[in-house]
Structure 1
Amino acid sequence: MKFQREIFRYKVAVGIVFKKLRTDLLIEGKPMTQQYLNNDISEKYNKSWNSAREETLPNTTLENLYLISNYFNINIDYFFQLVQNVTNKEVDDAIKGKSRLNNLYKNL
């Protein structure tokens, strides 16, 4: 049970980092939208991307980790440093902020 909760929280932290990377990049003075990222990845990499899924509760692949790191011009080591720096409060807030995450977490 504890192991499943830890994995769930780690996945949420990965999603938080995906969202931070996206929203920290400004397009015409505004944070990049999910749709913009989806379209840009599709165009640049010929790969379907669903930002909403990846930012909520990703179960991402190594290919997607590589792709997003390449897209944002960061190395994978740095990506995982960002994940490690996500606070428990940020994870708790993300879980509480989405009813789907909240319900899944309660059932673990």
Structure 2
Amino acid sequence: MKLHKEIFRYKVAVGLVLKKIRTGILIDGKPMTQQYLNNDISEKYNKSWNSAREETLPNTTLENLYIICDYFKIDIDYFFRLVKNITKKEIDDAISAKIRLKNLYKEI
């Protein structure tokens, strides 16, 4: 059970990083939307992308990690440093903020 909770929390941290990276890019003076990213990745990489899923509770594949790092022009090691720097409080807040995450976390 402990391992499952740790993995769940790590996935949440990955999702938080994906959202931070996306919203850190401004399009017409506003944070990049999920729809914009979905469309742009679909066009540039010929791959269906679901930002909402990737930012909530991702089960990110190596292919998706490669695409996101390539898209945002960041190194994979930098991406994982960002994940490592997500705080316990940020993870707890993200879980508490979404009913789906809260319920899934309770089931573990």
Give the TM-score normalised by the residue count of structure 1: 0.99
The answer as to 2:60 corresponding to 1:60 is: yes
Instruction: Determine the structure 1 residue equivalent to 2:69.
Output: 69
Taking every aligned residue pair, what percent have the same amino acid on both sides?
77
The answer as to 2:87 corresponding to 1:87 is: yes
Instruction: Determine the structure 1 residue equivalent to 2:24.
Output: 24
Shift in Å at residue 29 of structure 1?
A: 0.4
User: What is the letter of the counterpart of residue 47 of structure 2?
Assistant: K
Extract unaligned runs of 5+ from structure 1. none
User: What is the letter of the counterpart of residue 67 of structure 1?
Assistant: I
Shift in Å at residue 28 of structure 1?
A: 0.5
Give the total of aligned pairs.
Answer: 108
Q: Counterparts of 1:90-101 in structure 2 under 5 Å?
A: 90-101=90-101
Extract unaligned runs of 5+ from structure 2. none
Shift in Å at residue 63 of structure 1?
A: 0.2
Instruction: Determine the structure 1 residue equivalent to 2:39.
Output: 39
User: What is the letter of the counterpart of residue 66 of structure 2?
Assistant: Y
Query: Structure 1 stretches (4+) deviating beyond 2 angstroms?
Result: none
When the two chains are superposed, the root-mean-square deviation of aligned CA atoms in Å is: 0.3
Instruction: Determine the structure 2 residue equivalent to 1:102.
Output: 102
Give the TM-score normalised by the residue count of structure 2: 0.99
